[in-house]
A = this chain, B = another copy of it.
Amino acid sequence: MKPKNLPLGNIDHEPIRIRSTEDLGAVLKVRRKKQKMTQSDLAGLAGTGVRYIVDLENGKQTAQIGPALKLIEWLGLEVTIREKKVD
Protein backbone atom coordinates (compact mmCIF):
# COMPACT_ATOMS: atom_id res chain seq x y z
CA MET A 1 0.00 0.00 0.00
CA LYS A 2 1.22 3.45 -0.90
CA PRO A 3 1.16 5.90 1.99
CA LYS A 4 -1.63 8.40 1.38
CA ASN A 5 -0.74 12.06 1.11
CA LEU A 6 -2.90 13.59 3.81
CA PRO A 7 -3.34 17.31 4.58
CA LEU A 8 -1.33 18.79 7.41
CA GLY A 9 -2.84 18.00 10.77
CA ASN A 10 -5.12 15.34 9.44
CA ILE A 11 -5.81 12.42 11.71
CA ASP A 12 -6.32 9.04 10.13
CA HIS A 13 -6.34 6.99 13.28
CA GLU A 14 -2.58 6.89 13.57
CA PRO A 15 -1.22 9.04 16.41
CA ILE A 16 0.37 12.39 15.60
CA ARG A 17 3.43 13.54 17.50
CA ILE A 18 3.08 16.88 19.24
CA ARG A 19 6.40 18.67 19.53
CA SER A 20 5.19 22.24 19.74
CA THR A 21 2.19 24.39 20.39
CA GLU A 22 2.06 25.01 16.66
CA ASP A 23 1.64 21.28 16.05
CA LEU A 24 -1.13 21.16 18.60
CA GLY A 25 -2.94 24.17 17.18
CA ALA A 26 -2.85 22.76 13.66
CA VAL A 27 -4.27 19.41 14.72
CA LEU A 28 -7.05 20.96 16.76
CA LYS A 29 -8.09 23.32 14.01
CA VAL A 30 -8.33 20.61 11.35
CA ARG A 31 -10.19 18.37 13.73
CA ARG A 32 -12.68 21.05 14.69
CA LYS A 33 -13.53 21.67 11.07
CA LYS A 34 -13.88 17.99 10.41
CA GLN A 35 -16.41 17.93 13.23
CA LYS A 36 -18.23 20.86 11.61
CA MET A 37 -17.92 23.02 14.69
CA THR A 38 -17.32 26.74 14.88
CA GLN A 39 -14.94 28.23 17.38
CA SER A 40 -17.95 29.54 19.31
CA ASP A 41 -19.44 26.06 19.48
CA LEU A 42 -16.27 24.69 21.00
CA ALA A 43 -15.86 27.63 23.33
CA GLY A 44 -19.36 27.03 24.63
CA LEU A 45 -18.82 23.32 25.14
CA ALA A 46 -15.44 23.61 26.80
CA GLY A 47 -16.44 26.59 28.92
CA THR A 48 -13.86 28.98 27.54
CA GLY A 49 -13.99 32.07 25.36
CA VAL A 50 -13.49 32.33 21.64
CA ARG A 51 -10.24 34.16 22.19
CA TYR A 52 -8.81 31.14 23.90
CA ILE A 53 -9.66 28.88 20.99
CA VAL A 54 -8.18 31.32 18.49
CA ASP A 55 -4.98 31.62 20.48
CA LEU A 56 -4.67 27.87 20.94
CA GLU A 57 -5.20 27.09 17.27
CA ASN A 58 -2.61 29.72 16.45
CA GLY A 59 -0.03 27.90 18.56
CA LYS A 60 0.24 30.40 21.37
CA GLN A 61 2.98 29.23 23.73
CA THR A 62 1.29 30.56 26.81
CA ALA A 63 -2.16 29.07 26.42
CA GLN A 64 -3.18 27.15 29.52
CA ILE A 65 -3.21 23.39 29.73
CA GLY A 66 -6.43 22.67 31.61
CA PRO A 67 -8.87 24.11 29.08
CA ALA A 68 -6.86 22.59 26.23
CA LEU A 69 -7.36 19.08 27.60
CA LYS A 70 -11.10 19.62 27.96
CA LEU A 71 -11.24 20.89 24.43
CA ILE A 72 -9.37 17.90 23.12
CA GLU A 73 -11.89 15.69 24.86
CA TRP A 74 -14.79 17.50 23.18
CA LEU A 75 -13.13 17.03 19.83
CA GLY A 76 -13.09 13.27 20.30
CA LEU A 77 -9.33 13.15 20.57
CA GLU A 78 -7.04 11.65 23.18
CA VAL A 79 -3.57 12.56 24.39
CA THR A 80 -0.97 10.04 25.40
CA ILE A 81 2.55 10.32 26.68
CA ARG A 82 5.30 7.73 26.55
CA GLU A 83 9.03 7.23 26.49
CA LYS A 84 10.72 8.54 23.40
CA LYS A 85 11.68 5.68 21.17
CA VAL A 86 15.12 7.08 20.43
CA ASP A 87 16.32 8.88 23.52
Contact = CB atoms under 8 A, between A and B. Distances in A.
Copies, count: 2
A5 interface: no
Contacts of A84: 76-78
A13 to B, nearest CB: 6
29 contacts: A11-B81, A11-B83, A13-B82, A15-B80, A15-B81, A16-B81, A16-B82, A17-B78, A18-B79, A19-B73, A20-B66, A21-B65, A21-B66, A61-B64, A61-B65, A61-B66, A61-B67, A62-B65, A63-B64, A63-B65, A64-B65, A72-B81, A76-B84, A77-B81, A77-B82, A77-B83, A78-B83, A79-B80, A80-B80
